[in-house]
Structure 1
Amino acid sequence: MAHKTDHDVVWITGASSGIGFALVKQYLDAGWRVIASARKPGELSALFASHSLLSFLPFDVTDSDQVETVRQALLLSTEHLDCAILNAGTCEYLEMTTSPIDWEMMDRVMSVNFFGLVNSVALCLPLLKKSSCGHLVGVSSQAVQAAFPQAEAYGASKAAARYFLSSLRMDLKPFKIDVTCLLPGFVDTPLTQKNTFSMPFLMSADDAAKRMFSALQSRPFEFAFPKRLSTMLWVARHFPKWWLGKVAPR
């Protein structure tokens, strides 16, 4: 039987570390009931004892065979979702100097960042429709604003996610479900800690989550941050030859 609660209910994927984990803490502090998903609990394990409104639902977003099982588990957990924040993501870089080039990496990244998002939408949409004010949130990236070296897979997958969400915004309007696409810049997470290049305007995961939580209150179509990076990438888009000379490998 679905869990009844007077609290707003949010489902957050990719919740075991980084931005997802920071968002879990934000929503718990705000009094929401949080259903957190990831392949494993990770950092969430430290929160269960002190947060009765937190529950964990294992989900590998790349595994289509899990969708129906997780959907049934969600239905047993709650009668509706007020918000779903689809944050699960990964990053790998295309290395042109290796031989052979690992083109299969494109599939790996796309399976998480795009098809994982599609799987998650298919899973949560029926429960969002049961809310009086459903809010679907997907996490893209500021990387879609301009080209970066070695980011063919990551950037393309996040651009696909952005367009998918933009189209969903239109098709879900009759159901009174708002759709927001978040475009964060560089955030200090286990993924970005592997990067060996400069990351301008790097912020903590907690800072990113605070900005996201605050922005989502007004349900914008998109929210890109930080603004300084947005400005830099605006210049990159409008002066692509300058940007190529600035960032392309030499």
Structure 2
Amino acid sequence: MQAKTAQLKNETIWITGGSSGIGYALVAKLAEHNKVIVSARDQSKLEAMSENLPNVSFVVFDVSDKTQIDRVTNELSQITPHIDRAILNAGHCEYLDIDQPDWDIMERMMAVNFLGMVNSLHACLSLLKKAPHPHLIGVSSQAIAAPFTQAEGYGASKAAIQYWLASLRIDLVKFNIDVTSIMPGFVDTPLTQKNTFDMPFIINSEQAATRIIDAIDKRVLNCAFPKRLSAMLWFARKMPRSWMKLQQPK
């Protein structure tokens, strides 16, 4: 039986990529007892959310556009004097077709997934520093645990996130900022609904949000789920040639 969702209360939480998928599920669960600020690049989606979540604040932010950082910092500062937890969740996924490669996929993946997270921290770090017990949360992926076909750009960008967060964990100690890396497996979202391959142990976004909130509440260093996928990828690392054969297109 799955444990009851830990409930954070009376905190100010900023969530990027909050208009759909895991981000939206997090907003819906956390907004009941917290002051939640949601960012996404699509203003129309945020406006639609405001009809169902009247107590949530919204800041439009294309995380890949660093020219927006100063504006976003200013808008966040107008909403709140500090941010207790920043959940940097915005992400994108494209797959490389090696027969007809679009090499720009690599740049787009890094621009949104990795540099987008860098830009997001740039925008909120000053407000995190002002919180009594600040917490930075970044969403990586279990895709970094073993190679997947066509995932060169996506996996590399998520691996960059994992190393970046691990190093930040050391350097942010002086500001009393905890750092957590979240590594989901396959989650049923608009992004994964485009996939044409099998996605083992897939869960829905509400289940993912429940596990993330529990990990955040405990301030763990790393959280990978579901565990069944973690175990499968452990074997993939131990038997790389066998895993490579399984990944070959049929």
Runs of 4+ in 1 over 6 A off after TM superposition: none
Counterpart for residue 228 of structure 2: 228
Contact 1:83/1:137 (8 A) holds in 2: yes
> Structure 1 stretch 209-218 or stretch 34-43: which is displaced more?
34-43
Counterpart for residue 3 of structure 1: none
* Alignment-mate amino acid for residue 226 of structure 1: P
The reply on whether 1:9 has 2:12 as its aligned counterpart is yes
Counterpart for residue 131 of structure 2: 131
Contact 1:79/1:127 (8 A) holds in 2: yes
Distance 2:41 2:13 in 1: 18
Match of 1:18 among 18, 21, 30: 21
Distance 1:188 1:8 in 2: 28
Match of 1:32 among 29, 34, 39: 34
Distance 1:32 1:42 in 2: 23
Contact 1:185/1:225 (8 A) holds in 2: yes
Counterpart for residue 170 of structure 2: 170
Show structure 2 runs of 5+ residues with no match: 1-8
Show structure 1 runs of 5+ residues with no match: 1-5
Match of 2:88 among 83, 86, 104: 86
Give the % identical residues.
Answer: 53
The reply on whether 1:185 has 2:185 as its aligned counterpart is yes
Where do 1:81-160 residues align within 5 Å? 81-98=83-100, 101-160=101-160
Distance 2:240 2:149 in 1: 13
Distance 1:38 1:143 in 2: 23
Distance 2:240 2:198 in 1: 20
The reply on whether 1:205 has 2:208 as its aligned counterpart is no
Distance 2:182 2:45 in 1: 23
Distance 1:70 1:77 in 2: 11
Distance 2:182 2:44 in 1: 23
Contact 1:224/1:230 (8 A) holds in 2: yes
SS at match of 2:19: coil
Distance 1:50 1:187 in 2: 23
Please, what is the CA RMSD of the aligned residues? 1.4
Where do 1:41-60 residues align within 5 Å? 41=43, 44-45=46-47, 47-49=49-51, 51-60=53-62
Counterpart for residue 73 of structure 1: 75
Shift of 1:26: 1.2
**Between Structure 1 and Structure 2, how many residues are aligned?**
242
* Alignment-mate amino acid for residue 199 of structure 1: M
Shift of 1:9: 0.2
Shift of 1:245: 1.4
Contact 1:17/1:42 (8 A) holds in 2: no
* Alignment-mate amino acid for residue 149 of structure 1: T
Shift of 1:28: 1.1
SS at match of 2:197: coil
SS at match of 1:131: coil
SS at match of 1:233: helix
Shift of 1:181: 0.3
Contact 1:36/1:54 (8 A) holds in 2: yes
Counterpart for residue 246 of structure 2: 246
Counterpart for residue 218 of structure 2: 218
Distance 1:188 1:43 in 2: 19
Contact 1:21/1:44 (8 A) holds in 2: no
Shift of 1:232: 0.2
SS at match of 1:133: coil
